[in-house]
């Protein structure tokens, strides 16, 4: 009996309607890397915080060294030394110089720094060989940032430079949504942990590794649960154990129509999860819903490795981004010229593994390998997915195709 297919867009919309951004809280700066901030940040201080020296040299009154030349240096007594973090509040009296290091405060009265290279580097007395105009090598208070200045608007995604500026103005924490905790469970009695012995009918569990890595790259914290067999009791127990630490659960395997399809068997009865066929290839059998007391969202992805990976990209990644409050939810598609004829099945959105490259002539894409959803080697050889919509049956070589570039940032 052929069931009606749900479209990719409808399935994704249902997911996005179910999953809400997590509550923000104050996080240590480094934890907020790549997260959007949930506050407007205003600088509490000036940067620089005080006039300070940009060079190692001597702080002087510029008018006193205006006549200095190579042949007729100006001699000044050196009244002390000031280094960064080791200085005293100091006023420079007329007719003297202060030896000063980079970052040390410029003393009151001084208005220029003569670099060491323009002097005889004297200790008690210094010979200055060149005139220093007012302001030379002085970093002015507030010339970079003013107290009260808006630094970042709400929603700004923090990268290393933004984090550096927040620290520079003294912020130890910033308000951001937590990284979603994604629990990844592989089901299948045939699965073995990499590094252990393989039987004649077993396979290594690649899905939980790939999915946990993909979740981490999406910005989530991922917990990879060991393999769970096709025994319903074991799966039910593993799932309820994991719910305490999950904002999202992702399972792989056990959602087809055969016997031993443990995920479907257990969760069909729980009520909160629906299973249906989505009009896509690979990745047709999908399940989504909520489980447990907290209504934790759960994605039950098909077990074939390429299906599981593509399903993650199309459905789980947007949900993770929504939980973090990161826009856009979906990775934007780019257009590229297809190097080969691409054939697609009618009535389904097809995701074709491909190699994408940009050269001086533009963006190009070509399918790699076969289309079997077990071909994990071909998946690793690809860096993109060509997306052929339901109505498209052929993309001729030389024409444009829509492409998801997998490792590219949004
Ligand atoms: P299933 O969806 O459970 O019927 O699995 C479909 C196919 O994917 C079978 O050939 C499984 O052996 C394979 N498979 C399922 N889970 C994994 C996994 N975690 N790692 C690698 N292959 C898997
Ligand atoms: Mg299975």
Asked whether the predicted pLDDT for residue 108 surpasses 70, the reply is yes
Tell me the pLDDT band of 2, cut-offs 50, 70 and 90: low
Note the pLDDT tens digit of each residue in 311-336. Answer: 999 999 999 999 999 999 999 999 99
Q: Is 326 in a helix, a strand, or coil?
A: coil
pLDDT recorded at residue 145? 98
Closest CA to 250 of 231, 225, 284, 274: 225
Q: How much is the average pLDDT of 245-274?
A: 94
188 burial (CB, 10 Å; 0-12 / 13-18 / 19+) is buried
CATH numbers and ranges of domains, the chain: 8-23+178-324 (3.40.980.10), 25-47+143-176 (3.90.105.10), 52-139 (2.170.190.11), 333-405 (2.40.340.10)
Mutate to test the pocket of ligand 1, among 184, 187, 188, 210 (most ligand atoms within 8 A of CB): 188
389 burial (CB, 10 Å; 0-12 / 13-18 / 19+) is exposed
Whole-angstrom distance between the N-terminal and C-terminal Cα of the chain? 40
d(CA 242, CA 248): 10
Closest CA to 43 of 144, 173, 140, 148: 148
Mean pLDDT over each residue of the chain, to the nearest integer: 96
Please give the number of the atom of ligand 1 that sits closest to the Cα of 252.
Answer: 16
Comparing 391 with 139, the larger pLDDT belongs to 139
Tell me the pLDDT band of 345, cut-offs 50, 70 and 90: confident
Q: How much is the average pLDDT of 195-200?
A: 96
- Distance of CA 188 from the midpoint of ligand 2 (Å): 4
Q: How much is the average pLDDT of 55-60?
A: 98
Please give the number of the atom of ligand 1 that sits closest to the Cα of 302.
Answer: 2
Cβ-based neighbour number of residue 359 at 10 Å: 7
- Distance of CA 209 from the midpoint of ligand 1 (Å): 13
Percent of all residues in the chain with a pLDDT value above 70, rounded to a whole number:
99
pTM: 0.93
Both tokens of 89, joined, read 């509040």
Please give the number of the atom of ligand 1 that sits closest to the Cα of 190.
Answer: 12
Note the pLDDT tens digit of each residue in 355-393. Answer: 999 999 999 999 999 889 999 999 999 999 999 998 888
- Distance of CA 32 from the midpoint of ligand 1 (Å): 35
Ligand 2 is an ion; its neighbours by CB within 5 Å are 188, 253-254, 303
- Sign of the four-CA dihedral 351, 352, 357, 361: negative
Please give the number of the atom of ligand 1 that sits closest to the Cα of 304.
Answer: 8
Cβ-based neighbour number of residue 141 at 10 Å: 18
Largest CA distance in the chain: 102
Tell me the pLDDT band of 260, cut-offs 50, 70 and 90: confident
pLDDT recorded at residue 289? 98
Both tokens of 255, joined, read 């959602």
Asked whether the predicted pLDDT for residue 241 surpasses 50, the reply is yes
| Residue owning the nearest CA to atom 10 of ligand 1 | 304
Asked whether the predicted pLDDT for residue 10 surpasses 50, the reply is yes
Tell me the pLDDT band of 3, cut-offs 50, 70 and 90: low
Q: What are the backbone dihedrals phi and psi of residue 364, each rounded to the nearest 5 degrees, phi first?
A: -130, 150
Asked whether the predicted pLDDT for residue 1 surpasses 50, the reply is no
pLDDT recorded at residue 31? 96
Kindly identify the ligand whose nearest atom is closest to the C-alpha of 283.
1
Tell me the pLDDT band of 111, cut-offs 50, 70 and 90: very high
Asked whether the predicted pLDDT for residue 76 surpasses 90, the reply is yes
Are 193 and 227 a contacting pair, CB within 8 Å?
Answer: yes
pLDDT recorded at residue 89? 84
- Strand 181-186 relative to strand 221-224: parallel, antiparallel, unpaired? parallel
Pocket of ligand 1 (CB under 6 A): 186, 188, 190-191, 203, 205-208, 252-254, 256, 302-305
Q: Is 1 in a helix, a strand, or coil?
A: coil
Note the pLDDT tens digit of each residue in 144-185. Answer: 999 999 999 999 999 999 999 999 999 999 999 999 999 999
């Amino acid at each position: 009996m052929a069931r009606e297919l749900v479209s990719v867009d409808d399935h994704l919309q249902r997911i996005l309607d179910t999953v809400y951004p997590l509550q923000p809280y104050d996080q240590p700066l480094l934890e907020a890397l790549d997260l959007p901030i949930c506050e407007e940040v205003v600088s509490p201080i000036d940067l620089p915080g005080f006039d300070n020296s940009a060079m190692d040299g001597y702080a002087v009154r510029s008018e006193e060294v205006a006549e200095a030349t190579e042949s007729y240096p100006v001699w000044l007594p050196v009244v002390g030394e000031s280094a960064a973090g080791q200085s005293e509040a100091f006023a420079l009296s007329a007719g003297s110089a202060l030896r000063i290091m980079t970052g040390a405060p410029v003393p009151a009265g001084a208005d220029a720094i003569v670099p060491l290279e323009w002097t005889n580097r004297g200790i008690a007395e210094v010979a200055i060989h060149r005139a220093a105009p007012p302001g030379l090598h002085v970093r002015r208070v507030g010339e970079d940032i003013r107290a009260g200045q808006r630094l970042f608007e709400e929603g700004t995604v923090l990268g290393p430079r933004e984090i550096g500026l927040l620290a520079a103005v003294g912020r130890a924490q910033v308000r951001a949504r937590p990284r979603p905790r994604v629990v990844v469970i592989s089901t299948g009695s045939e699965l073995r942990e990499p590094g252990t012995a393989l039987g004649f009918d077993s396979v290594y569990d690649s899905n939980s590794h790939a999915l946990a890595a993909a979740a981490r790259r999406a910005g989530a914290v991922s917990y990879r649960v060991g393999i769970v067999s096709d025994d319903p009791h074991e799966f039910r127990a593993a799932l309820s154990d994991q719910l305490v630490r999950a904002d999202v659960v992702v399972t792989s395997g056990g959602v087809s129509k055969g016997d031993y399809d443990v995920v479907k068997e257990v969760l069909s009865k729980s009520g909160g999860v629906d299973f249906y066929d989505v009009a896509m290839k690979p990745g047709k059998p999908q399940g989504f819903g909520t489980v447990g007391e907290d209504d934790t969202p759960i994605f039950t992805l098909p077990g074939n490795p390429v299906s599981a990976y593509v399903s993650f990209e199309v459905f789980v990644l947007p949900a993770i981004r929504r939980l973090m409050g990161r826009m856009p939810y979906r990775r934007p598609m780019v257009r590229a010229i297809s190097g080969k004829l691409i054939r697609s099945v009618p009535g389904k959105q097809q995701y074709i593994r491909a190699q994408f490259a940009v050269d001086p002539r533009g963006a190009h894409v070509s399918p790699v390998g076969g289309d079997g959803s077990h071909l994990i080697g071909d998946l690793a050889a690809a860096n993109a997915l060509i997306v052929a919509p339901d109505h498209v049956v052929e993309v001729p070589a030389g024409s444009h195709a829509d492409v998801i570039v997998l490792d590219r940032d949004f």
